[in-house]
Structure 1
Amino acid sequence: MKTAIVRHILVKDKDLAEQLKQKIKSGSDFAQIAKAHSTCNSAQRGGELGEVKKGQLVPVIDRLVFSGAERVLHGPIKSQFGFHLLEIKFRMEF
């Protein structure tokens, strides 16, 4: 079984997602940005989704989580919920 430790930020606007990505890349704290801007329930945990299993997330995000580079800020990625910024902390396979 594949699992990953992931954190993310969800916003409705692509331009805002791009702005937040640049702030994080410039050294702003991911968790603080998530708490201030993310519309996901994970915002109160600094964007931490915790451990997720393959197939647990919406398909476009799930594919990225289990194939994208680890420890890289990905996005914005569009889903039916809005635009995501995503960091895959690491993946495991049991």
Structure 2
Amino acid sequence: MEIAINVGKIVLSIDASAKIYLFGSAVKGLFTALSDIDILVVTENIDKKYDIMVKVYKEVKEPIELHVTTPKLYESWYKRFIEKDEIIEITPLIQ
């Protein structure tokens, strides 16, 4: 969770209105030493996608998989594949 929160801080420094979610093996309780950490950023400011990705991947050394998408694509695509109990919004945890 600490890594995801650090990623969230970086994201919010670029786009304060973004919502950050943790999903995948870290939420399912199946995380292993070989796993990456799946983080989903949902933003209306999709033009900031590459700024977000570059800064996160430069600053975070742990294995993460960063997904940056719009609310519309989140609703139409990601929600089809991620079960409600397999995703946690971490935006409220970031200070």
Quick check: TM above 0.5? no
More strand by share: 1
**Larger helix fraction of residues:** 2
TM-score, with structure 2 as normaliser? 0.29
- TM score, norm. by length of structure 1: 0.30
